[in-house]
Every structure is written in structure tokens, then in C-alpha cells.
Amino acid sequence: MADLTSDFIGIKSPNPFWLASAPPTDKEYNVRRAFEAGWGGVVWKTLGEAGPPIVNVNGPRYGAIYGADRRLLGLNNIELITDRPLEVNIEEITRVKKDYPDHAVVVSLMVPCEEGPWKDILRRIEDTGADGVELNFGCPHGMAERGMGSAVGQVPEYIQMVTEWVKMHSDYPCIVKLTPNITDVRFPARAAQAGGADAVSLINTINSITSVNLDTLVPEPTIDGHGAHGGYCGPAVKPIALNMVAEIARDPETANLPISGIGGITTWRDAVEFMALGAGNVQVCTAAMTYGFKVVQEMISGLSQYMDEKGIDSVSDIVGQAVPKAKNWQDLNLNYVTKAEIDQDLCIKCGRCYISCEDTSHQAIAMSEDRVFTVKDDECVACNLCVNVCPVEGCITMRELSIGELDERTGKKVEEYANWTTHPNNPGATCG
């Protein structure tokens, strides 16, 4: 079994799988069960300032969208930060950390955007023994309207300012959690770095309304005849999160800023993908909320097997491996030609590739009288739609044409690498 130990900005944990700040980490009871189940660390559910606790709606607080067989694909919530008294949380964090010295315990914080409250909360958590803090600049609902959460995360100047206060008033390693509800994630990441953050974590949830009840015509989740937008997470947001992580990892200004990857991570594969695109570790919420803490066992065994098979010694060796290969569109090879190919032994003759190509794309699949489906190389542009709609994995694959081979669609032979920046049709091309 591979060595999965992780060191993220100096915070050590038995593996890179942390539970994100959310209901799974809201209480001592949950966190102890999580550590017993195998999670490497937790970011405790966000604490607010001292005083009267936060008030949540009673519920329903979640909405969902589903795939086939009612698989939960996306989850939306309208919950706020912890609604338990600050003192109780602090006592519990202290007890848990004492019993689990080798596991990571990071405290998530969200207080009003003034120096006083930040200084105060940092002083209050001083004796918990926690390994670091995470600044929640992400929640898109409830707290944002009060000038916290994503209301801070959407203004790079505020991010920098608050981060500076935190670094000034504490020695904690500081992770800044970013909201995806912005146009360009690189700006808040740069601001966090400028404020002295040790790392960023992303993504928090995405503004969303999951559904509308068609009998009452009220958005869901519905509270007494009304609904509010909430934060979206789960497998459906993974591609968005993955891109944002890559954007920061690829940005020369933040290339060395550590990232904790979050968003739709459900299996060990998702975790490795985030790490390959630059995440030093990962945080999980929805997968645990859907299946319970035991899912981490698959993540651990999967990562371990992958590392053994690939001969990777340390988790940190995976981090960033795919970053140099994530490019902008204009850097892609316009002379790269592939053709779809159908494995007739695997084909079950559902006809989905045919109808999707025929109705909506390039009319490049032929269907015979006896339902044999074949690709017309002279029409196929290799868009990949047939691969995506085929229900049988591995049944349709893309065959790469080698240089010099005839592309029957264009009637031209495949040439060497060339991209848009030098293409004759590009008015801004640098050279021919």
C-alpha cells in the first residue's frame, strides 16, 4: 500500500482526504465518527462571532437533482454557518484535536468585515490546538446579504484586507476559501495571495435554484410557500470546480499558491484529477452526505492502488502533473485528426450514436438495414458526441490519424502541429 500521508501548508494528515466545512463537521460526534472511518482531516463547520447563535430555517433546507436510478447528482442548500453556540464548538474542537493529534483539524471562520470581530474570534480559538484556519468568503446565501461570505469573496480588496488582519493577529496557517460566483477566479486568488494567505480552497457552492414545484409553482426547497436561491454542490459541479482550480494553478502570478480542491469530489478518481490539476489535497462534502463516511475507504484504496500501479511514492508527486497540459484553445493542434470507430462486438445496436449524429451533428454514422452502425470517415469531424451518448463504455473510440495519412473528410493529408496563432484564416496570426 502506497504512503498516503499528506502535508498541506505544513498541516499533516494521514491522507489527503479532508471533510469540507459543512454539516458533516458541525459536531464532535460527527467528526469523531469521520476520523474513525478514515478521513484524514476536517475543516470544522464555519464558526461565527460570539453572541446569540445563528438562526436557520427549520427546513426543508436542501434540494437535489438526480440522474438515472435517482442517483444524486447535485445538491443545493439554504443552510447558514453553524447554529450552535461558539463556546460549545470551541470546547468540542479542543477535545477532538487532543484525541486525534495526527489528524488535521482546521477551523472555518466567518465574522463581519471589520478588524475587531476577526481579532476577537482568532483570540477565542487560540487554545483549541487547531492546525489552521479557513476564511469562509464563499457562502452565497443568507450570510452574503449581511456583508459576509461571498459578499466578501466577490471583492478582491476585501479578501486581501481580511486576510491581512488574520495573518496579523494569529500565527495560524491561513486558507482562504473562494466563491465560484464571480467571473474570473484568478482575481480573488491573487488577492488572497497578496493578503498573505498560505493557500486557497475552492470551490464553495454555486448560486442555484434546483427546481420548482409544479403544483404550487414555488421554487424548491420550499419554506411556507416561498423558496430562496441556495448553494449548489455535488458531482454536477465538479467540471466547474476543476476548471477554476486549473485557472489558479496555471496563472503565473499564483502558480506557487497551494490549493485545497473542493467541488463534486465523489471517488478517488475525482480526487486524483483535482490533484493533477494543482490541488495539494481535497475536501469532500456531498459524497459523504450522500453515502456516509465510509466512502473514504474507496478513496483511500483507489488512490493507493493508483499510486502503486503508477509507481508514485508520494501524494505530492501527483500535484500539478496535468497543469502544463491545460492550455488555452489557441494552443491546440489544428492538424490533429481523429475518426470515431465503433467496436461491432461491443455495440448493442441502440442507435443513439446514429440519431444524435444524424439529427444534431454531422450525418457521419451510417445505419444498415440490419442495424449495423458504421462511421463515415469522409463525414466524421471527430466531435466525440457519439462517444458521449453511447451507453456502452469503450464501444466507440477515437482513432488518431498519423501524419501523412489521408483525412477522407478534407481530402488532405494530416500535417505537422500548427495552431490558430499561425493559421492563415486568423487575421492576427503572427506568421504564416
Interface ranges with ligand SF4 (CB under 6 A): 342, 347-353, 373, 390, 392, 395-396
**E strands along 72-118, which residues?**
72-77, 104-109
Residue 212 lies near another protein (rule: CB under 8 A): no
Q: How many residues line the site for another protein (CB under 8 A)?
A: 14
Nearer to another protein, 240 or 350 (CB): 350
Instruction: Supply the minimum distance, in Å, between the C-beta of residue 387 and another protein.
Output: 15
Nearer to ligand SF4, 161 or 381 (CB): 381
Q: What is the DSSP letter of 94?
A: H
- The alpha carbon of 127 is separated from its chain's Cα centroid by a whole number of angstroms, namely 32
- Using only C-alpha atoms, what is the Rg of the chain? 25
Indicate the helix (H) or strand (E) that contains 45. Answer: strand 41-47
Active site residue 139: yes
Q: Which stretch binds another protein (CB under 8 A): 66-74, 98-106, 326-334, 379-387?
A: 66-74
When binding is defined by CB under 8 A, the residue of 86, 312, 367, 398 that contacts another protein is 367
Residue span 335-354 as binding mask against another protein, x where in contact by CB under 8 A, dash where not: -------------xxxxx-x
- The alpha carbon of 244 is separated from its chain's Cα centroid by a whole number of angstroms, namely 8
Instruction: Supply the minimum distance, in Å, between the C-beta of residue 382 and ligand SF4.
Output: 15
When binding is defined by CB under 8 A, the residue of 212, 255, 372, 392 that contacts another protein is 392
Q: How many CB atoms lie within 10 A of CB 314?
A: 14
Residue 168 lies near another protein (rule: CB under 8 A): no
Instruction: Supply the minimum distance, in Å, between the C-beta of residue 343 and another protein.
Output: 13
Nearer to ligand SF4, 94 or 374 (CB): 374
Q: Whole-angstrom Cα distance, residue 236 to residue 76?
A: 11
Indicate the helix (H) or strand (E) that contains 399. Answer: strand 396-400
Which among 6, 22, 20, 28 has a CA at the least distance from the CA of 103? 6
Grid cell digits, residue 37: 472511518
Peptide bond into 221 cis (omega under 30): yes
Catalytic residues: 139
Interface residues with another protein (CB under 8 A) are 68-70, 348-352, 354-355, 367, 371, 391-392
